[in-house]
A = this chain, B = another copy of it.
Amino acid sequence: MQDAAAGSIAGSGRPRYAYLGPPGTFTEAALHQVASPDTADFLPRGDVVAAVDAVRTGDADFAVVPIENSVEGGVSATLDTLAAGGGLVVVGEALVPISFVLAALPGTRLSDVRRISTHPHAWAQCRRSVAALTPGAVHVPATSTAAAAARLAEVAAERAGVHEAAEALGFDAVLVAPHSARSYGLEVLAADVGDNPSAVTRFVVVGRPGRIPPRTGADKTTLMVQLPDNEAGALLTMLEQFATRGVNLSRIESRPIGDELGRYAFSIDAEGHLEDERVAATLMGLHRVCPLVLFLGSYPRADGARTQVHRGTSDAEFAAARGWVEGLRGDGAPA
């Protein structure tokens, strides 16, 4: 991943990566899988849309943003900003195991915790554990897990004591990544407070088009597909375009088109690469039957799992089929 991304801006100096910051977010952890701060610039942004827009405006070469979580599902802001056009594409992905700690300013006792700040997705993933640890504690939303930690540390520095800081902030503890608690000098009141110990978040690296990473045999292709209006069976027809060519889906999510209830587009990750014949054929089929198809990138899978090729769908079989039909046409041109 690192090579492909770095290579794509070869000759242009240090690559710049916008990401959902501040430092200490899970997104930053994902970014470390993709690039090193020694050779790239890391540019924290306040939300997903701002991070992606930095690529659109040219302030960054890439953006690293969460796209789905194994517990909370798709990240709507990411799905929608990619779909909103402007032609950005996904050029890579990274997987980050998610674990949370309940942390506070040193001196805080667990029994004192009444109000807990964190990103809503984090809150959703710790709800049961937190209810057991701190019965009755309420959620104070933050724009990111690290933002809550940063704010706690910052206010503490300005005030005399823990209680004053909490009073000023409106919360007295945070749910954050373990490394984030450390880097902001917070005290861990409880570790491993995520309800699902195997939670994983998947992040994508977004770049400008013209940079499709080469096919590796273990690739994904991300699409946004709009269905024809008011057609019973339209979803089935769309999915058959994949099935007929033996292309598996690894993710599918509906997103409202936005104009009225009941009209959806689908965000899809398909197994394979634009350079695979079966993926190209599927895209052509979708283009014919759907009012809108956005190609949002082909890129190597983070888990390296090679695409299973079903009988009749290898490149060789596609080429043989095309050769056969071309032979029929060529041999049989009208006299």
Partner of A210, one of B139, B258, B332: B332
Separation of A244 and B241 alpha carbons in the complex (Å): 7
Instruction: Check if B72 sits within 8 Å of A321, measured CB to CB.
Output: no
What is the CA–CA distance of A321 and B10 in the complex, to the nearest angstrom? 32
B321 near A284 (CB under 8 angstroms)? Answer: yes
Is A209 interfacial (CB-CB < 8 Å)? Answer: yes
Kindly name the residue among A47, A80, A244, A317 whose own CB sees the greatest number of chain B CB atoms within 10 A: A244
Residue of B at shortest CB range from A148? B141
Could you say which of A63-71, A99-107, A180-188 contacts chain B? A63-71
In the assembled complex, which residues on chain B have CB atoms less than 8 Å from the CB atom of A311? 289
Q: Which residues of B contact A250 (CB under 8 A)?
A: 262
Contact mask A268-306 → B, CB, 8 Å, 1/0? Answer: 000000110000100111011100000100000000000
Q: Which of A19-27, A30-38, A322-330 contacts B (4 or more CB under 8 A)?
A: A322-330
Q: Find out whether the CB atom of B138 lies under 8 angstroms from the CB atom of A141.
A: no
- A109 sits at the interface (CB 8 A): no
* CB–CB B262/A198 < 8 A: no
User: Chain B: which residue is nearest A286 at the CB level?
Assistant: B321
Cα A250 to Cα B333 with chains together (Å): 24
CB distance from A315 to the nearest CB of B (A): 11
Taking a contact as CB atoms under 8 Å apart, the answer to whether A329 and B49 are in contact is no
The answer to whether the Cβ of A56 comes within 8 Å of any Cβ in the partner chain is: no
A249 within 8 A of B: yes
User: Are A236's CB and B244's CB within 8 A?
Assistant: no
Give the complex CA separation of A168 and B168 in angstroms. Answer: 7
